[in-house]
C-alpha cells in the first residue's frame, strides 16, 4: 500500500541556476538525456508530499551562468519520510549515467507478472501436488 509522506527535497547545486526535482515513474531505456525520465515535477529545496516508496530524481547546476556544470542525485523515498541516496552523476552525461540505476530501482518493487495468467491459490499447493497435476495434464494431451 502506498503512503504519502512529507519529504524534505534537497536542492542540488546553486539556487540561482537551473534546478528541479521529479518523481520518476518510467524511463525510456533508449534515452540518454533528461527527457528519458517520465514523472511529475515537484519543487526542490523544501518539504513536498510524495508517495512512498518512489524514485526521486533531483537535478541542479553549479558554477557560473556562462559555464554551468550539471549534477543529479537519485533517491528512494522511504515510508518513514526519509531519503536513501542511490546514485549521483555530474557533467554532460548525467542522464545516461543514471538511467540504468533508476530503471533498476523502478523494477525492484514491481510485482512479478508471468507470461501466462495464474492464480495465487497455486501457492497453497505443495510442489509434489503441482508436479502430479502437470504430469496428469501431459498424459491427457498425448
Q: Residue 109: inside a domain, yes or no?
A: yes
- Number of domains into which the chain is organized: 1
Q: Residue 31: inside a domain, yes or no?
A: yes
Q: Residue 128: inside a domain, yes or no?
A: no
Separation CA 77–CA 24 (nearest Å): 11
Q: Residue 132: inside a domain, yes or no?
A: no
Q: Residue 134: inside a domain, yes or no?
A: no
Separation CA 56–CA 21 (nearest Å): 7
pTM, whole model, 2 decimals?
Answer: 0.75
pLDDT digits (tens, 9 = 90+) for 73-118: 999 999 999 999 999 999 999 999 999 999 999 988 655 455 555 6
Query: What is the domain range of residue 37?
Result: 3-114
Q: Kindly report the average pLDDT of the chain as a whole number.
A: 89
pLDDT digits (tens, 9 = 90+) for 21-38: 999 999 999 999 999 999
Separation CA 56–CA 63 (nearest Å): 23
Amino acid at each position: 500500500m502506498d503512503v504519502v509522506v512529507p519529504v524534505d527535497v534537497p536542492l542540488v547545486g546553486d539556487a540561482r541556476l537551473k534546478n528541479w526535482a521529479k518523481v520518476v515513474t518510467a524511463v525510456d531505456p533508449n534515452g540518454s538525456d533528461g527527457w528519458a525520465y517520465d514523472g511529475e515535477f515537484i519543487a526542490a529545496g523544501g518539504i513536498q508530499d510524495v508517495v512512498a516508496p518512489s524514485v526521486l530524481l533531483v537535478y541542479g547546476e553549479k558554477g557560473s551562468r556562462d559555464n554551468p556544470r550539471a549534477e543529479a542525485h537519485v533517491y528512494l523515498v522511504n515510508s518513514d519520510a526519509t531519503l536513501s541516496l542511490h546514485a549521483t552523476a555530474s557533467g554532460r552525461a548525467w542522464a545516461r549515467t543514471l538511467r540504468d540505476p533508476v530503471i533498476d530501482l523502478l523494477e525492484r518493487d514491481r510485482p512479478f507478472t508471468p507470461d501466462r495468467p495464474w492464480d495465487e491459490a497455486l501457492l497453497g499447493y505443495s510442489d509434489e501436488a503441482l508436479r502430479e497435476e502437470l504430469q496428469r495434464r501431459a498424459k491427457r494431451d498425448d
